[in-house]
Every structure is written in structure tokens, then in C-alpha cells.
Amino acid sequence: MTDELAPTREHWRWKEDRWHDRGLRWEDASIISAGIDVGSVSSQAVVMVDGRLFAWSSIRTGASSPQSARDAMARALEGTGLEVERIHFIVGTGYGRVNVPFAHKAITEIHCHARGANFMYGDRVRTILDMGGQDCKAIRCDERGKVVNFRMNDKCAAGTGRGMEVFADLLQVPIDRVGPMSLEVDEEPPPVSSTCVVFAKSEASGLLRQGWPKEKVLAAYCSAMAHRVFALLRSVRVEREFAITGGIAKNPGVVRRIERELGFEAIRSDIDSQIAGALGAALFAHALEQKARSGGGERR
Amino acid sequence: MKAHHGYEDGSGRFYITVDTARCNGCAECVAACPARALEMVEEDPMEERLVAAISEAHRRRIRYSCASCKPTGYDPVTLPCVAACEPDAIEHSW
Amino acid sequence: MITVGIDMGAKNVKAVVLIDGEVTGRAIKVAGFDTDETAREVLAAALGQASVSRGEVRGVFATGVGRNDAPQSDGTITDVSAAARAVASLRPEARTVIDVGAEEGRVIRVEGGKVVDFAINEKCAAGAGAFTEAMARALEVPLEELGPLSLESTQAIEMNAQCVVFAESEVVSMIHNNVPKPDMARAVHDAIASRIVSMTRRVSGGPPVVLVGGLARNVGFIDSLRRGLEIEAVEIPKDPEFIPALGAAITAART
């Protein structure tokens, strides 16, 4: 615990992104719905037109959650000609879900993730693992994307993006290289023994001093992370098909090791794994608008 | 739905599980908890039914919130929230 | 009779030389990555201070997280037993012993010098000294100044984060928002103390409460603990970080 813990810098050079379907005409839509997911590290907005994916954005969450929500929404609508006032129903979710001031309703990220995964991966998905910036969730759902069982851990950095960032920092490796580098080992080393990121970091420093190359240390850490997450998954009992969402889905070092422990692969989607929460929120928004119009509910 | 509220860290796994299918919304557990860790929330986005859940303020320190109800030692203990729940919807993992 | 106790702690290795019940030598060194080597050095230093040779030592007992790796020990005892035994010899009336080191926090209930019950907060940096270390770095303050700094706090603020890693991020944004450093320092001590206090609710032995271990040197933590326990004072023996090693030496003498 004596090493030079560099002040936490963001080695995470995060790619902000947006997309929209130029072939879809929102002007002809009956229902335009949107979902905004404000997380601790990143924020996403998704716009749907009659239940079809129309536009999305993914940006870094700034100092203000409400502002990040507005920025994500604006980014998603860029170049579409659609204005936020024309959207019929907006659902907010994520860490800052209560901070989406222009949302009609807030829904927990658990429900939004399950619904979004159901859209992205199809109705055969039953188990979802989401590893976000500061939390880790295991969700079981049915064929409609309705949650049956879930466990979330947002207390401890182990198994989260921040936890991974600490290691990227220690080893001076860009975050998107962590996964690939960890797979460049001839033999899988034993995982670091500590679950706690702070203690694991001390352990890793010790390993580096013993002459371990960076790849080996990364492998040991990714292995420990995968194992830790696997334990969380096991506690909700994994049923196929299994999908991984969130930033860490893009870390092959952790994904591959989880798949190894499970004995099968996670299903993939063409849609960016980061937007699952916002996507589910947009789907709920669509359903709630439908319900409101048929007299079954209210737009608050 | 089994909603597990709590956390795990190096010290262990600390979750309180509410079976929302069994929960009848009576809120007796909320009143029974000396730490005021429980609250009623809308669980299913499409319905307006309220069920019990651990509040945000307590979720990440639930081990400590529940400490006074869980003395160490080997005598089994009746937890006030579990005792108050008639449909048996609450479980503690530790 | 001459015995030695070695505490192979997570951060520091400590050794105590006991001659007929009196501590005559002690030494402490950062464990580093070759703990074997450090233990040997610390043992030699403590013996040197006591002007005693290795051959004159009747027994060496080890405690601490690395106790099974202690070179040349005649036996080991748990940290809980070590702290309890040492405190029982120094302050027989003590009913609660709190031992907070770099990586673990323990609350021990003692009756008549015997351990009756205990609770441990382990493997999570937020319940121990590792938290203050990380905060000292985040606040850019030497560790030994963190305690005094926290006593300058004018208001209690609550940390949302329950994990050292998340707390570091929270501190970064609090610094951005010009939250005074003393208040943040106090918040950290309060956070560690509140975990310990919750554990005392489970194990409650009541006063007198004796605090030992490395964190007993931290005046900020002592204050937070005292306030959290709602008692007049928390007692701290001389050289609190050597208490578990003393307990090991006492055990060696009784064996």
C-alpha cells in the first residue's frame, strides 16, 4: 500500500458517438418516444419513432446531470430536424434519473436495461450482465423483457468501469487496450487475490516489482474481475441466452474470461451496447404513451 | 420478481431480498424497521402497485444499517422486518 | 523470561521484545514486497534496542494477516486474540477493544480479559486505514497531517461513496466545488468511524473502550470515533500500533 498512487486521472479516452436513421421519417410518426440514461460516467439518449429505433447518442456525463441529459438529447437530435418539444413521451433513467427535468416519468435502470436488451438481443435473451462506470448488475428477464430477478452492486468498485480505470492508470495503458493486452499471455496467470480494487492495486504493484510484464498483470486483474462478476451472475442463476451490456462489454479481456467460466458465449448485437438502458427507457415511453392515449394512464 | 437490495464487497455479500410477487404492499415492514431502511416504491413501470424496497440512502451501507438488529453470537434472531411480513416476502442473505 | 511478538501487518511489520512483562524493545518497518526480509530486519532491530540476542529469546509468536509467513516463529495467534490479550494486561477493566489497521477494522468484546465476541470488517479498504491513505493523497496532504486537518473542520458533510475508489472521485469533484479540505478530511474519518460504531452495536461491550492499531495515532479518527460512540473518551495505550505484537509476545510467555 506504499506505492505512488497517482492522483486519479482519466485514462479513459471515451469516444462520444451519435447516429440516426436517415431513411425514417419522424414527420409521419404516430408516436415519438425517447429515453435518457444519465450514468455516473456516461449518458445516452435514444429516440424511437413508432417503436422503431430512430436516433441515439452517447456522451460523457458532465458535472451537472440535468445538463448532461439535455446535451445527450440534443446530440441525438442533431441533424434530424426533430425538436425535443415534438417528442410525445420521455422517460428518464440511470443514476441521475431523477435529474432528467424534462422527462415525463422516471423508471429504474434495472427495468430499462432488461427491456432494452430484449429489443437489442431478441426475445431469447434471459440473462443480462451490465457493468457500468460505477456499478455492476445481473438481471434475469422473460421473453418480453420483464425483470424476474436482479442483483446490483453499486457500493464497491470491483467489477465496475472505475475499477478498471484504476488499473489502466497504474499500468499507464489506455483503457481500450486493457482487454486486448490482457489476452496476450501464453499462460493464464493466477488471478489477483484481493476483491478490493485498492488492495488488488497494491498486489499488482508488487507483481510489477517482481518483474511481471504489464500483459500478465492485466490478465491477473481481468481474471479476478471476471471471477467476481461471475459470482454475481451465479447468484441470479444464468439462463441462456446471455448478453453483456455497458462499457465493459467492449473489454474482450473480461468478456472472454466470463465466457470461459460460463462455458458459452454471450450473444452479440449490432446496436451499441452502451445504449441498452436508454433504449429500454424509450420503449417504456412508447408503451406509456400508447396507454395514455387509450385512456389507460396519464402523462404526468 | 426477486429484487435483491444491498451490495457485496471484500467483506461479504449483504442483500435483502423482496419477492415482489409476494409483497402485498401493506408497508408493515417499513414501520417495523428501527433503522428506517425500508420504503415503498413503484416497482413495475406499467403498473401502479407499490412494493417494499431498501431506500437509496441505506442500500450501499445495508450491512451497517442492519447491524443493531443482528447481534453476533449463535442465538437465532427474529428480524423485525421479517416478522412483520405476513406473506413472507423478505429475506436477508446474512 | 524474554519473548518476542511479531505483527505481520498488511502495511507494517512490528516487533516487540518483552522481558519479564516489560516492553524493552520495539521496531516497525514498512512491509514492502519481501515481507520475510522485513520481518528479519524488524526482529533484529527490536532485539538490538533491548540489548538481547536471539539465543536468549525463549519464544517468538506471530500475529497479523501475514502471520503464517513469519520467519522463525514458534506459534501464531489471531489478531483478535493478540489485541485482547495485550489490552487485558494493560487495562484489565476494558470491555471493548477496537483495533483498526491498514486493511482491517475489528471490534472485540472482552470480559475478564477473555474474548467474548468480535466483529471484523475486512477486505474492504473503506473500513480501515487504507481509506485515510487514499484521502491524504487525494487531498495532497501528508498522512500524518490528515488527523489534525480534520479537527479544523467547521461542518460535517456526508460522503455518498461507500468505497475508497468512488470516494476519490467524489473528493475530486468536491475540490472543484471548493469544499474546504478540513471538512472532507473529517468526512473520511467519520465514515470509517461509523462503520466501526455499527459493529460495536452488534458486539457491544460498553466502556471502557480501548482503541489500538495504526489508526489510533490519528487524532481525527479518535475524535470521530468518540463522537460516534457517544462516550466521553476513547482510551489509547502508549504505542498503540504495537499492541497486537505485544499480545503475541505475552502469548509466547504463557506458552
* B1 in A contact zone (CB under 8 Å): yes
A296 pLDDT higher than 70:
no
Indicate the pTM of the whole model. 0.88
What is the DSSP pairing of strand C75-76 with strand C59-63?
parallel
Identical fold at C1-91+239-255 and C93-236?
Answer: yes
pLDDT at site A275: 92
In this structure, is residue A27 part of a structural domain? yes
* Amino acid found at A110: I
- Same domain for A228 and A153: yes
Q: CA of A63: which chain C residue's CA is closest?
A: C173
- Same domain for A135 and A110: no
Q: Which of A198, A202, A217 has the most C C-beta neighbours within 10 Å, making it the best mutation to test the interface with C?
A: A198
Q: How confident is the model at residue A73 (pLDDT cuts 50, 70, 90)?
A: very high
In this structure, is residue A74 part of a structural domain? yes
Closest CA to A160 of A7, A5, A12: A12
Q: How far apart are CA A268 and CA B75, in angstroms?
A: 50
CB-CB under 8 Å, B45 with A105? yes
Left (φ > 0), alpha (ψ -120 to 50) or beta: where does C128 sit? beta
* A106 in B contact zone (CB under 8 Å): no
Q: How far is CA C6 from CA B55, C11, C43, C102, C251, in A?
A: 45, 13, 8, 16, 11
Q: Which of A8-22, A275-289, C197-211 has the lowest mean pLDDT?
A: A8-22
Q: How far apart are CA C70 and CA C68, in angstroms?
A: 6
Which B-chain residues 16-45 have CB contacts (< 8 A) with chain A?
44-45
Cβ atoms of residues C205 and C170 within 8 Å: no
Peptide bond into A241 cis (omega under 30): yes
C231 pLDDT higher than 60:
yes
CB-CB under 8 Å, B9 with A196? yes
What is the DSSP pairing of strand C22-30 with strand B90-92?
unpaired
Domain with residue A142: its CATH number is 3.30.420.40
In this structure, is residue A4 part of a structural domain? no
Residue C230 corresponds to which cell in the numbers above? 457517544
- Same domain for A153 and A262: yes
**Parent domain of B24:** 2-92
- Same domain for A131 and A117: no
A3 pLDDT higher than 60:
no
Q: How confident is the model at residue A299 (pLDDT cuts 50, 70, 90)?
A: low
Closest CA to A68 of A109, A100, A91, A92: A100
| CA C61 and chain centroid, separation | 18
In this structure, is residue A181 part of a structural domain? yes
- Same domain for A250 and A137: yes
Find the helix packing angle between C181-203 and C219-229, rounded to 10°: 50
Q: CA of A208: which chain C residue's CA is closest?
A: C33
Q: How far apart are CA C167 and CA C139, in angstroms?
A: 12
- Same domain for A118 and A150: no
Strands (DSSP E) along chain C, which ranges? Answer: 2-8, 12-19, 22-30, 59-63, 75-76, 96-100, 105-111, 114-121, 209-212
Q: How far apart are CA C197 and CA C100, in angstroms?
A: 12
CB-CB under 8 Å, A152 with B45? no
Q: How confident is the model at residue A272 (pLDDT cuts 50, 70, 90)?
A: confident
Domain coordinates in residue numbering, chain C? 1-91+239-255, 93-236
Task: Name the CATH topology of C1-91+239-255.
Answer: Nucleotidyltransferase; domain 5 (3.30.420)
- Same domain for A262 and A285: no
* A162 in C contact zone (CB under 8 Å): yes
Q: How far apart are CA A60 and CA A69, in angstroms?
A: 10
- Same domain for A232 and A262: yes
* B7 in C contact zone (CB under 8 Å): yes
In this structure, is residue A12 part of a structural domain? no
Minimum-distance CB partner of B67 among C120, C163, C202: C202
pLDDT at site A11: 41
CA A197, A200, A201, A204 torsion-angle sign: negative
Total Cβ atoms within 10 A of residue A20: 19
| Number of domains, chain B | 1
Q: How far apart are CA C36 and CA C40, in angstroms?
A: 6
pLDDT at site C14: 96
What is the C-alpha end-to-end distance of chain C, expressed in Å?
Answer: 12
CB-CB under 8 Å, C117 with B72? yes
CB-CB under 8 Å, B67 with C198? yes
Minimum-distance CB partner of A8 among C130, C140, C168: C168
Q: Which of A67-76, C85-94, C111-120, C196-205 has the lowest mean pLDDT?
A: C196-205
A10 pLDDT higher than 90:
no
3-class SS of residue A146: coil
| C194 phi and psi angles, rounded to 5 deg | -65, -30
Give A246's DSSP letter. S
Chain B residues in contact with C204 by the CB 8 A cut-off are 71
Q: How far apart are CA A42 and CA C195, in angstroms?
A: 31
In this structure, is residue A155 part of a structural domain? yes
Query: How big is the A-C interface in CB pairs under 8 Å?
Result: 55
Exposure of A297 by Cβ count < 10 A (0-12 exposed, 13-18 middle, 19+ buried)? middle
CB-CB under 8 Å, C10 with A8? no
CB-CB under 8 Å, B11 with C122? yes
pLDDT in tens, A26-55: 999 999 999 999 988 889 999 999 999 999
In this structure, is residue A1 part of a structural domain? no
Work out the angle at residue B60's Cα, subtended by the Cα atoms of residues C164 and A4, and round it to the nearest 5 degrees. 5
Q: How far apart are CA C203 and CA B67, in angstroms?
A: 9
Q: CA of A206: which chain C residue's CA is closest?
A: C33
* C206 in B contact zone (CB under 8 Å): no
Closest CA to C119 of C106, C110, C132, C131: C106
Alpha-helix runs per DSSP H in A98-251: 109-121, 161-171, 175-182, 197-209, 214-236
Chain B residues in contact with C192 by the CB 8 A cut-off are none
Minimum-distance CB partner of A156 among B8, B44, B45: B8
Closest CA to C86 of C202, C216, C196, C204: C216
Q: Which long-range contacts (CB under 8 A, 24 or more apart) does C110-114 make?
A: C110/C84, C110/C205, C111/C205, C113/C84, C113/C85, C113/C88, C113/C89, C114/C84, C114/C88
Domain with residue B38: its CATH number is 3.30.70.20
Cβ atoms of residues A141 and A118 within 8 Å: yes
Total Cβ atoms within 10 A of residue A130: 27
Q: Chains contacting A with at least 3 CB pairs below 8 Å?
A: B, C
pLDDT at site B75: 66
Residue C253 corresponds to which cell in the numbers above? 510467555
Burial profile B3-41: b = 16 or more Cβ within 10 angstroms, e = fewer: bbbbbbbbbebbbbbbbbeebeebbbbbebbebebbbbb
The average pLDDT across A231-237 equals 92
Which B-chain residues 18-77 have CB contacts (< 8 A) with chain C?
60-61, 63-65, 67-68, 70-73
Percentage of residues in chain A having pLDDT higher than 70: 92
Q: How far apart are CA A47 and CA A286, in angstroms?
A: 10
**Parent domain of A50:** 17-122+274-293
| A12 phi and psi angles, rounded to 5 deg | -85, 95
Cβ atoms of residues C213 and C243 within 8 Å: yes
Q: Which of B59, B61, B72, B75 has the most C C-beta neighbours within 10 Å, making it the best mutation to test the interface with C?
A: B72
A294 pLDDT higher than 80:
yes
Q: What is the ipTM of this complex?
A: 0.90
* A193 in B contact zone (CB under 8 Å): no
* Amino acid found at C98: I
| Number of domains, chain A | 2
A298 pLDDT higher than 70:
no
* C124 in B contact zone (CB under 8 Å): yes
Task: Name the CATH topology of C93-236.
Answer: Nucleotidyltransferase; domain 5 (3.30.420)
Minimum-distance CB partner of B45 among A158, A236, A284: A284
Percentage of residues in chain B having pLDDT higher than 70: 95
Peptide bond into C208 cis (omega under 30): yes
